[in-house]
Structure 1
Amino acid sequence: MTTASRSLKVGLTQWHATTDIDGNLEVALRLIERAAADGASVVVLPENGLMLGTGLQMREAALSIDAAPVVALCTLARRLGVVVVLGGMKNRVADQVFNSALVIDTSGEVVVRYDKLHLFDANIGGQSFEASSVERPGDRLVVVEIDGIKVGLTICYDVRFPEMFRALAGAGAEVLLVPAAFTQTTGEAHWHTLLRARAIENHAFVVAPATVHSPTPDHTDAFVTYGHALAVGPWGEVLADLEESAEAVQVVELDLGEVDRARAKLPVLAGRRDPRVYAAEPHIARISTEQKELAR
């Protein structure tokens, strides 16, 4: 008896996002249309794709889930019959702001929301990023099932926390989404390595749409982002790289049988120990390399 093949056609997107919400939305709608025309059943948009500015600018421009740009995405998802993942926007909830990924189903409804767990507080190349002064962190993992395939949701800086990805894989996720607005400096150093590592560790597909820096040298970007939207296979191979394209989409077909085969070869998920082993205080042995004076 043969097992029915499982696959998911995902639209990987990338564009140069600015502070112009209407302009960014036009690009997003255009790329969703192109992805659907190329056969995508799911289209994933980058973090801050609707508005990329300073922390203060993004907080002041935070949108609610029923805001007009989100409604426009919902309307298009319904018209085209595709799932759209808005990879991350500053989401105003009462008097609080979260960095939220929204999953919009084929009926145009927001069915689930993931609030970014790990906030980007860092100093990169002399530029300070203080996300915790702008938004609040989420407090739960989220997995969404699309056509029977479990997809784990993360956002950008989350990629540096492998325990999160292992927990999502442990919950059955075979595809891990990492929509991002990764800085140029950290992207050049770490982006490809981190995404490939998360795929290899969990034998899962990783799909990471991205914003990219301005195509012109006289840009006014609040910070320069790396681009290189990636799709990575469960054995760590790069399936797609949008490099530095200022506006691009590529449909990648994910054969979930590859996840099964990779996990059968190296059953790392099955080999995990009881969580209490990892949580316990480790035994620490101390050795000194200081040369002892020989007795005379």
Structure 2
Amino acid sequence: MSDHRTPRTLRVGLTQWHATRDTARNTRLAVDAIRETAADGADLVLLPENGLMLGSNAQMREKAFTPDSPEVLALREAARETGAVVVLGGMKHRRPDRVTNSALVIDGNGAIMGTYDKVHLFDARVDGVSFEASGVERAGDELLLLEVKGVTMGITICYDVRFPELYRTLARAGAEVLLVPAAFTRTTGSAHWEVLLRARAIENGAHVVASATVHGTEPGTDAFETYGHALAVAPWGEVLADLGEAPYACRVVELDLALVEKARTTLPVLEQVRSDAYLRAPVRIAASHQQEPVS
């Protein structure tokens, strides 16, 4: 018997631009990306982390936004104008008692329908430069799923991609698409970006969509260089789109959800997880004790 079910697809706007400290300029690029991808049929538009303002940690904290900041209101209006769901992939978010790195989900009416606060903060030392995000923002402790056109997505941000347990949790909770908006450093990006995204897709049998900033050195700031290469990856690990190092680019990628079902049926790893067998299990060491040779 033939299968007459309507194919399940989701059209996602993959975006990338050269973000700087000029928030008005960055906002214009973000609005352009929303309008361009929505005009091409995007159901959801994913904007990169720090796309509204990219500088040093201290500079970004100083310019922390709220959902009613003019820059965010412009994105909300663009979502309302186009009817597309927009995920502002990460911004310094000023709350009454703290600053977080937050992804805002904006519905097609321009309303904020959800917020994800980045769980894993980028405290690292790369090429002699110290990134101490925990000094300017507070980590989140809740996960967020988003549903658009019957497709469930898990939202993460940048450095989260190095923590596979997070993605496995989202996938087991129903996520078929994993969103990873980012501002990945050039050094770590050239070494790890693609392989990490492909790994998260393969091990969870999920589509991965990762919008990104691309940033060179900028006089008068200690902002770090970011890698670009916004990517979309299929559940079997194929790269569906790569925006390279273009200073501005956007593209609509059609995600076939049948590929998620196929990958998870072929390799049903989500059903075979035995976390009870190793998360709390004792770890034993089998050490070799070789005798000294007799002279």
Establish whether TM, by shorter chain, passes 0.5: yes
Give the corresponding residue for 2:35.
33
**SS in structure 1 opposite 2:100?**
strand
Q: Which whole-Å CA distance do the structure 1 matches of 2:171 and 2:6 have between them?
A: 22
Partner deviation per Cα, 1:97-137 (whole Å, 9 max, x = no partner): 00000010111111000000000000000111000001000
Give the CA deviation at 1:271: 1.1
**SS in structure 2 opposite 1:245?**
coil
The answer to whether the aligner puts 1:280 opposite 2:260 as a matched pair is no
Which amino acid in structure 1 is aligned with residue 276 of structure 2? R
CA contact under 8 A between 2:201 and 2:235: conserved in structure 1? yes
Give the CA deviation at 1:218: 6.9
Which amino acid in structure 1 is aligned with residue 250 of structure 2? V
**SS in structure 2 opposite 1:144?**
strand
CA contact under 8 A between 2:55 and 2:221: conserved in structure 1? no
Aligned residue-pair number: 293
**Runs of 5+ unmatched residues, structure 2:** none
Give the CA deviation at 1:32: 0.9
Give the corresponding residue for 2:46.
44
Which amino acid in structure 2 is aligned with residue 199 of structure 1? A
Q: 1:178 aligns with which of 174, 177, 180?
A: 180
Which amino acid in structure 2 is aligned with residue 27 of structure 1? L
Q: Which whole-Å CA distance do the structure 2 matches of 1:250 and 1:269 have between them?
A: 30
Give the corresponding residue for 2:131.
129
**Runs of 5+ unmatched residues, structure 1:** none
CA contact under 8 A between 1:18 and 1:221: conserved in structure 2? no
CA RMSD of aligned residues (A): 1.6
User: Kindly, what percent of the aligned residue pairs are identical?
Assistant: 60
Which amino acid in structure 1 is aligned with residue 260 of structure 2? V
Give the CA deviation at 1:39: 1.2
Which amino acid in structure 2 is aligned with residue 82 of structure 1? A
TM-score by length of 1: 0.95
Q: Which whole-Å CA distance do the structure 1 matches of 2:256 and 2:151 have between them?
A: 11
Give the CA deviation at 1:264: 0.9
TM alignment of 1:6-85, pairs within 5 A: 6-85=8-87
**SS in structure 2 opposite 1:269?**
helix
Partner deviation per Cα, 1:57-94 (whole Å, 9 max, x = no partner): 00010011111111111111011110100000000010
Give the corresponding residue for 1:93.
95
Q: Which whole-Å CA distance do the structure 2 matches of 1:218 and 1:105 have between them?
A: 37
Give the corresponding residue for 1:236.
237
**SS in structure 1 opposite 2:131?**
strand
Q: Which runs of 4+ in 1 moved over 4 A?
A: 216-221
